[in-house]
Structure 1
Amino acid sequence: MQRQGSSGGSAGFRVRAAGGVLLVAHLALVAWITLRPLDVPWVSAANLRPFAGIRADLALGWPQAARCLGGGLALLAPLGVLLPMAGGRLTVSPLADLARTVTAGALLSLGIELLQTGVPGQVVDIDSILLNAVGVAVAHLAVVPAARARLRRRAETRERAALRREDPSQGRTPTIPRVGIAP
């Protein structure tokens, strides 16, 4: 039985399987980047005030701020595409899907930040959670609605082509006219 709203068929399975494999690979890369111990001479204090780290990065100047903020935006941004891809649904509420994807990204980012408390050289930063969630939202909005619309159009085109290819040797199903009841 096929799930309601899924892309169906072997193509849908391949998309979901590819999404799942890419999601696992991306999460492994993120874990390696964020949870490995760093050998640093000193560690700054944890940042628990929202936007304080972003303001400090902006005070560094253009190239350094772009690198720091861009890294925060890009770290989990692929989740904005990979999570819906692994889900494999073509017909879903765009707003609910965005909320679900951003929430999953923010919770994953929170989990990473909490795990970093026990890793030497890594510091908890609340702004990382904010930047990661915004990165997930931007990637989702940039790719997913257009990709779903394209996939829906392809599926509709395939359905229409299948209806046109029906076996003509069978002909139409005969209909029996209704006969009224005699008086």
Structure 2
Amino acid sequence: MPERVLDSVRHDGSMFRVRAGGLLLTAAYLSFVAWLLLRPHYAAWVPAPNLRPLATIRSDLAAGPLPAARRIGEGLGMLAPLGVLLPMAGGRVDTPGFTSFARTVFAGLMVSLSLEFTQTVVPGQLFDVDALLLNTAGVALAHLLVVPAARRRLRHRAPAAPAPRPAPAPASLVP
């Protein structure tokens, strides 16, 4: 009896490794980001928090193209790896594209929001709505650039499901 139940369970070792690796890398990356962003910055003067969308981006653009590109690139790149790591940790190859994108971007937004709110209790750190926007946009861009192609490749590489075996005849019909 136990063999029949276990025969229907398909263990795909490669997808298990992808998911386990994704979970491990996501935890390590989030730990690194938390360490990086939640360190105290001791300064004599700290500006007010930015609650106006695009205000910090406008001031960065006014400072010149190179400083703006650096600051905007940092904002986009800070949580961008989550756009790949979160779907990898989910381990689902056959998820519809829009569902995966929406789930990943929402999770990235929640992680960014959590980090921004947590920063407000750290000395010298402040809330910046533009960091929230850039971090979420970075997650979305990374997801769009990597995940659809990676899933397509994994789908083609995955072995076909084995053909179902016929059920054994009931014991009352066996001569």
Report the TM-score range of the alignment, normalised by the length of the smaller protein.
0.7 to 0.9
Structure 2 match to 1:45:
48
Structure 2 match to 1:180:
none
**Per-residue deviation, 1:96:** 1.2
1:136 to 117, 134, 139: 139
Q: Distance in 2 between matches of 1:104 and 1:123?
A: 22
Q: Distance in 2 between matches of 1:36 and 1:98?
A: 31
Structure 2 match to 1:159:
160
Alignment-mate amino acid for residue 139 of structure 2 = V
Alignment-mate amino acid for residue 60 of structure 1 = A
SS in 2 for 1:118: coil
Name segments (4+ residues, structure 1) moved above 2 Å: none
Q: Distance in 2 between matches of 1:41 and 1:61?
A: 26
Q: Residues 131-183 of structure 1: CA distance to partner in whole angstroms, max 9, x if unpaired?
A: 0010000000000000000000011xx339x78xxxxxxxxxxxxxxxxxxxx
State the number of aligned residues: 156
**Per-residue deviation, 1:61:** 0.5
Greater C-alpha radius of gyration: 1
Alignment of 1:104 with 2:75, yes or no, is no
Change (3 A) 1:11 1:123: same
Alignment of 1:31 with 2:21, yes or no, is no
Q: Structure 2 length as normaliser, TM-score?
A: 0.85
Change (3 A) 1:8 1:52: farther
SS in 2 for 1:63: helix
Structure 1 match to 2:166:
none
Q: Distance in 2 between matches of 1:86 and 1:52?
A: 34
Structure 1 match to 2:168:
none
**Per-residue deviation, 1:8:** 5.2
SS in 1 for 2:127: coil
In structure 1, runs of 5+ residues without a counterpart are 164-183
**Per-residue deviation, 1:67:** 0.9
SS in 2 for 1:89: coil
**Per-residue deviation, 1:41:** 2.6
RMSD: 1.9
Q: Distance in 1 between matches of 2:160 and 2:96?
A: 22
Q: Distance in 1 between matches of 2:47 and 2:11?
A: 51
In structure 2, runs of 5+ residues without a counterpart are 164-175
Structure 1 match to 2:97:
94
Alignment-mate amino acid for residue 142 of structure 2 = A
**Per-residue deviation, 1:57:** 0.8
Alignment of 1:149 with 2:152, yes or no, is yes
SS in 2 for 1:17: helix
